[in-house]
């Protein structure tokens, strides 16, 4: 109770009720405060007082009043804002909205601060929206979703983006602000950003790029197109941090990739007008474009497979064409093949970034065309032959290594390695016997590489051949030492007009001893050799068999050379290097006087040389260049009643003459012309197959048909690829010979018969 002038402080009564009047009073204070806030006059307000007012209202159970009041206030205010906004022309709408939004945010924060107690107590209790959210909702409904704002705003945003795509500069700030606003206005289940903007944006983007890409591609080349889309993709991805919401990024990326890359992948790859294939053809110059293509396609992984397949197709076709073009010239073919491989390897390494799948595809391509034609195996052998004979002259060891490595790379692709072995053996034999190999070290290196590829069994015979040559040299040394210890024999030279000597005749001889299992089969038809040669041979043979008893020596008169000293007249003396057969032929003329003739038949009878070989060697002695013998009949061929005599008028500038053998029209085709598997190889394969089947069945006792086929294939695969039909034939043969039988319960099961 107040009295006089004393200031009385009423005690604070916590339980005192606040009546409606007081509540309204407080409320009015708050309303005017909010108005001040809206008018940007917040600085005149006392935060503490306002907070207290709100606090009290809520405390005294007038929360409803407060809440509805503030709701209404906010709405009213926003409605008036809306009037302004909808009236703004298009070019100002965006900035207006942004401005209003920023202000709204600021004011709402302040209001929320004042009403924070209500937010914390009344709002959860009555399950209403918080003040700030209330503001958001109101802003959204009143302004952003207003029918005169919503679409206009969206269209403006999209138009801006479109202009930017077409090269114009736009205001990123307002874009960012607007899109942020949309994001923030979402919540409570709906995403304003997505519904009102993103959906349309994505659709627009899709349409835009679909159109642009089609147009561009029709007018430009593939590399240009790739460059364009590369820049477009970068541009679009920048758009996200610039003003788009982060959640749009994956969706945008997907659309862009799809429209720009996937949709046109097949055209880009297959188009003749500088598509992928053309790029590949000129891969030397177009590596950058290829690299770009791969990098772009990498972003749309489904298209990468198409790219790889195209690479495969291209390599395979190129390989096939190469075969058709050049296989007749094996050495050139292999060189081109190596170049082809290098080219594609580069593409895979640089453009495809060494990707494993691409490497695999390349291997498959080479596998397929190299194994479609057997001549590839024989060409490779011919190429190696060339290297060994002439190519390695003057090369360093590392150069040799390098070349052989390249060869092995091609060798690895070959499926029918047993065919390669057969040819290699033939060529190697020729090289070794004719001393044509430049370096035995190189030969050994090659064999070592083959051994590490295929195992030691593959190269035993080949190595055996090399060893034979080495041993023969040793043997000759020993023999020479042995000869030195013997009393000297007199030598007789082949003398066309001389007489026989009656002392023991002999001549120098160099022998190469071959182990028959290692070398390719040689025909063993012997002829009658002249006595002095026979004597030397006999000497050597007894020496050798003394060293190695139990062995058998057979002389291969079909090979070998002889050096003859020939006197055609008193002045014309020459040394002739001829084949063994030719030596036999020529020495027949020794026994006669100079003008004597020998008929073909006589020569055959005495020398016993096989007819076909005889003709060849004989004709070689009658050629215009080396007319050592003169034959009766004119022309190139021999007739059956031909006769021969020594050509006394033989002239040559050289002292030492090598008489070459004329090439016969081949009876059997040259390995290069045949594209069938040699019979020996087929036979060999059959035996191997049967042996493998027996071995497997012996171990397993029984096996199902499919398992057996699979296992046989697996075991033989290193050497060649066995066709399932041929394996089946082997199985049937074994069934017939009762090595196996079919099970009576299941005809697909085979049982081993001990």
Partner 1 sequence: FLDNAEFRPFFKFCFEFNREGTKRFLERDTALALLPLCIEDRSKHTLNFLEFLETKPEDFKINRDQWCSFLDFSLAVGPAPEFDGWDSEESSWPILIDEYVEFVQEKLKET
At which residue do the structure tokens 């050379």 appear?
A: 561
Asked whether the beta carbons of 468 and 475 are under 8 A apart, the reply is: no
Considering the complex, state which of residue 189 and residue 747 has its C-beta at the smaller distance from partner 1.
747
Paired tokens of 615: 């003709």
Q: Whole-number minimum distance, CB 678 to partner 1, in Å?
A: 24
Helix (H) or strand (E) holding 750: strand 749-752
Strand 598-599 relative to strand 573-579, pairing: unpaired
DSSP 356-408: HHHHHHHHHHHHHHHHT-THHHHHHHHHHHHIIIIITTT--HHHHHHHHHHHH
Q: Whole-number minimum distance, CB 747 to partner 1, in Å?
A: 5
Q: Which stretch binds partner 1 (CB under 8 A): 73-81, 378-386, 444-452, 723-731?
A: 723-731
Q: Whole-number minimum distance, CB 286 to partner 1, in Å?
A: 43
Q: Is 747 in the site for partner 1 (CB under 8 A)?
A: yes
Ramachandran region, residue 40 (left: φ > 0; alpha: ψ -120 to 50; beta: rest) = left
Considering the complex, state which of residue 266 and residue 743 has its C-beta at the smaller distance from partner 1.
743
Q: Is 706 in the site for partner 1 (CB under 8 A)?
A: yes
Contacting residue, 79, 345, 591, 748, with partner 1 by CB under 8 A = 748
Considering the complex, state which of residue 408 and residue 694 has its C-beta at the smaller distance from partner 1.
694
Q: Which long-range contacts (CB under 8 A, 24 or more apart) does 626-629 make?
A: 626/657, 626/659, 626/660, 628/566, 628/576, 628/586, 628/659, 629/586, 629/589
Contacting residue, 166, 728, 751, 754, with partner 1 by CB under 8 A = 728
Q: Whole-number minimum distance, CB 716 to partner 1, in Å?
A: 19
Considering the complex, state which of residue 116 and residue 749 has its C-beta at the smaller distance from partner 1.
749
Considering the complex, state which of residue 568 and residue 750 has its C-beta at the smaller distance from partner 1.
750
Q: Whole-number minimum distance, CB 751 to partner 1, in Å?
A: 13
Q: Is 700 in the site for partner 1 (CB under 8 A)?
A: no
Q: Is 735 in the site for partner 1 (CB under 8 A)?
A: yes
Q: Is 736 in the site for partner 1 (CB under 8 A)?
A: yes
Considering the complex, state which of residue 199 and residue 735 has its C-beta at the smaller distance from partner 1.
735
Q: Whole-number minimum distance, CB 409 to partner 1, in Å?
A: 34
Considering the complex, state which of residue 396 and residue 725 has its C-beta at the smaller distance from partner 1.
725
Considering the complex, state which of residue 11 and residue 747 has its C-beta at the smaller distance from partner 1.
747
Q: Which stretch binds partner 1 (CB under 8 A): 224-232, 604-612, 618-626, 704-712?
A: 704-712
The three state secondary structure string of 332-343 is HHHHHHHHHHHH
Q: Is 705 in the site for partner 1 (CB under 8 A)?
A: yes
What distance in Å separates the CA atoms of residue 409 and residue 423, rounded to the nearest whole number? 18
Q: Which stretch binds partner 1 (CB under 8 A): 329-337, 617-625, 691-699, 742-750?
A: 742-750
Considering the complex, state which of residue 346 and residue 742 has its C-beta at the smaller distance from partner 1.
742
Q: Whole-number minimum distance, CB 701 to partner 1, in Å?
A: 17
Considering the complex, state which of residue 539 and residue 741 has its C-beta at the smaller distance from partner 1.
741
Q: In a 3-state reduction of DSSP, which class is residue 199? A: helix
- The candidate with the shortest Cα–Cα distance to 588, out of 578, 573, 574, 598, is 598
Q: Is 72 in the site for partner 1 (CB under 8 A)?
A: no
Q: Is 732 in the site for partner 1 (CB under 8 A)?
A: yes
Strand 573-579 relative to strand 656-658, pairing: parallel
Q: Which stretch binds partner 1 (CB under 8 A): 163-171, 274-282, 488-496, 730-738?
A: 730-738
Phi/psi at 186 (5° precision): -80, -155
Residues in region 336-395 near partner 1 by CB under 8 A: none
What distance in Å separates the CA atoms of residue 439 and residue 435, rounded to the nearest whole number? 10
Asked whether the beta carbons of 235 and 252 are under 8 A apart, the reply is: no
Q: Is 745 in the site for partner 1 (CB under 8 A)?
A: no
What distance in Å separates the CA atoms of residue 574 and residue 450, rounded to the nearest whole number? 45
Considering the complex, state which of residue 369 and residue 750 has its C-beta at the smaller distance from partner 1.
750
- The candidate with the shortest Cα–Cα distance to 717, out of 380, 371, 424, 384, is 371
Q: Whole-number minimum distance, CB 690 to partner 1, in Å?
A: 15
Contacting residue, 150, 228, 343, 729, with partner 1 by CB under 8 A = 729
Q: Whole-number minimum distance, CB 748 to partner 1, in Å?
A: 4
What distance in Å separates the CA atoms of residue 478 and residue 483, rounded to the nearest whole number? 9
Considering the complex, state which of residue 658 and residue 728 has its C-beta at the smaller distance from partner 1.
728
Q: Where are the extended beta strands (E) located within 660-745?
A: 702-704, 740-742
Neighbouring CB atoms inside 10 A of 365's CB total 22
What distance in Å separates the CA atoms of residue 96 and residue 398, rounded to the nearest whole number? 78
Considering the complex, state which of residue 322 and residue 735 has its C-beta at the smaller distance from partner 1.
735
Q: Is 744 in the site for partner 1 (CB under 8 A)?
A: yes
- The candidate with the shortest Cα–Cα distance to 508, out of 494, 495, 491, is 491
Q: Whole-number minimum distance, CB 738 to partner 1, in Å?
A: 8
What distance in Å separates the CA atoms of residue 474 and residue 482, rounded to the nearest whole number? 12
Ramachandran region, residue 608 (left: φ > 0; alpha: ψ -120 to 50; beta: rest) = left
Q: What is the largest CA-CA distance in the chain?
A: 180
Q: Whole-number minimum distance, CB 752 to partner 1, in Å?
A: 15
Q: Whole-number minimum distance, CB 296 to partner 1, in Å?
A: 41
Q: Which stretch binds partner 1 (CB under 8 A): 316-324, 470-478, 496-504, 740-748?
A: 740-748
Tell how many helices (H) and how many strands (E) occur in the chain: 31, 9
Q: Is 742 in the site for partner 1 (CB under 8 A)?
A: yes
Cβ neighbors of 128 (< 8 A, separation 6 or more) are: 67, 122, 134
At which residue do the structure tokens 């043969």 appear?
A: 733
What distance in Å separates the CA atoms of residue 335 and residue 386, rounded to the nearest whole number? 11
Q: Whole-number minimum distance, CB 374 to partner 1, in Å?
A: 24
Task: Please tell me the count of residues contacting partner 1 according to CB under 8 A.
Answer: 13
Paired tokens of 715: 């075991």
Considering the complex, state which of residue 583 and residue 693 has its C-beta at the smaller distance from partner 1.
693
Considering the complex, state which of residue 79 and residue 728 has its C-beta at the smaller distance from partner 1.
728
Interface residues toward partner 1, by CB under 8 A: 704-706, 725, 728-729, 732, 735-736, 742, 744, 747-748
């Amino acid at each position: 109770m107040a009295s006089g002038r004393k200031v009385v402080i009423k005690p604070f009564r916590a339980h005192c009720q606040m009546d409606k009047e007081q509540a309204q009073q407080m409320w009015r204070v708050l309303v005017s405060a909010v108005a001040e806030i809206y008018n940007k006059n917040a600085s005149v307000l006392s935060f503490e007082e306002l907070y207290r007012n709100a606090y009290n209202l809520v405390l005294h159970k007038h929360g409803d009043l407060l809440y509805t009041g503030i709701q209404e206030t906010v709405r009213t205010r926003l409605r008036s804002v809306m009037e302004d906004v909808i009236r703004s022309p298009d070019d100002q709408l965006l900035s207006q909205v942004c401005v209003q939004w920023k202000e709204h945010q600021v004011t709402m924060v302040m209001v929320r601060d004042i009403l924070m107690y209500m937010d914390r107590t009344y709002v959860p209790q009555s399950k209403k929206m918080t003040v700030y959210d209330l503001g958001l909702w109101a802003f959204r409904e009143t302004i952003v979703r207003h029918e005169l704002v919503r679409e206009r705003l969206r269209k403006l945003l999209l138009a801006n983006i479109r202009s930017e795509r077409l090269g114009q500069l736009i205001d990123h700030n307002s874009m960012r602000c607007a899109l942020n606003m949309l994001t923030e206005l979402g919540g409570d289940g709906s995403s304003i950003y997505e519904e009102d903007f993103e959906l349309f944006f994505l659709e627009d983007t899709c349409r835009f790029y679909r159109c642009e890409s089609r147009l561009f591609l029709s007018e430009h080349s593939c590399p240009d197109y790739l460059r364009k889309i590369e820049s477009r993709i970068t541009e679009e991805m920048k758009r996200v941090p610039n003003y788009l919401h982060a959640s749009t990024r994956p969706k945008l990326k997907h659309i862009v990739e799809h429209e720009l890359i996937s949709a046109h992948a097949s055209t880009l790859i297959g188009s003749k007008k500088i598509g992928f294939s053309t790029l590949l053809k000129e891969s030397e110059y177009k590596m950058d474009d290829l690299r770009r293509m791969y990098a772009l396609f990498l972003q749309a992984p489904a298209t990468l497979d198409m790219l790889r397949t195209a690479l495969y197709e291209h390599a395979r076709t190129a390989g096939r064409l190469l075969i058709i073009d050049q296989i007749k010239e094996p050495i050139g073919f292999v060189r081109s093949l190596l170049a082809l491989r290098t080219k594609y390897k580069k593409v895979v390494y640089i453009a495809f970034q060494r990707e494993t799948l691409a490497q695999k595809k390349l291997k498959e391509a080479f596998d397929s065309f190299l194994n479609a034609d057997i001549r590839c195996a024989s060409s490779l052998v011919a190429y190696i032959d060339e290297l060994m004979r002439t190519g390695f002259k003057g090369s360093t060891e590392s150069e040799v290594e390098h070349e052989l490595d390249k060869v092995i790379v091609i060798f690895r692709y070959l499926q029918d390695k047993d065919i390669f072995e057969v040819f290699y053996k033939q060529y190697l034999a020729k090289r070794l016997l004719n001393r044509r190999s430049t370096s035995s070290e190189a030969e050994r290196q090659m064999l070592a590489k083959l051994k590490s590829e295929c195992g030691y069994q593959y190269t035993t015979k080949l190595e055996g051949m090399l060893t034979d040559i080495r041993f023969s040299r040793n043997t000759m040394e020993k023999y020479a030492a042995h000869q030195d210890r013997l009393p000297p024999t007199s030598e007789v030279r082949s003398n066309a007009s001389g007489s026989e000597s009656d002392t023991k005749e002999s001549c120098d001889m160099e022998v190469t001893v071959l182990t028959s299992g290692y070398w390719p089969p040689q025909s063993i038809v012997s002829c009658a050799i002249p006595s002095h040669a026979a004597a030397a041979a006999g000497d050597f043979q007894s020496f050798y068999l003394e060293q190695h008893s139990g062995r058998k020596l057979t002389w291969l008169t079909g090979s070998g050379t002889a050096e003859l000293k020939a006197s055609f007249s008193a002045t014309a003396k020459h040394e002739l290097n001829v084949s063994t057969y030719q030596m036999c032929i020529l020495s027949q003329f020794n026994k006669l006087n100079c003008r004597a003739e020998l008929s073909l038949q006589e020569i055959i009878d005495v020398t016993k040389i096989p007819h076909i070989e005889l003709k060849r060697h004989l004709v070689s002695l009658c050629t215009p260049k080396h007319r050592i013998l003169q034959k009766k009949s004119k022309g190139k061929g021999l007739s059956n009643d031909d006769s021969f005599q020594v050509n006394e008028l033989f002239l040559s500038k050289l002292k030492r003459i090598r008489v070459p053998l004329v090439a016969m029209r081949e009876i059997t085709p040259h390995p290069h012309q045949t594209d069938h598997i040699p019979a020996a190889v087929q036979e060999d394969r059959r035996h191997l197959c049967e042996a493998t089947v027996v071995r497997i069945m012996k171990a397993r006792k029984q096996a199902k048909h499919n398992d057996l086929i699979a296992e046989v294939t697996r075991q033989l695969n290193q050497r060649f690829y066995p066709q399932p039909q041929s394996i089946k034939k082997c199985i049937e043969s074994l069934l017939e010979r009762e090595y196996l039988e079919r099970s009576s319960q299941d005809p697909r099961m085979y049982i081993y018969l001990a």
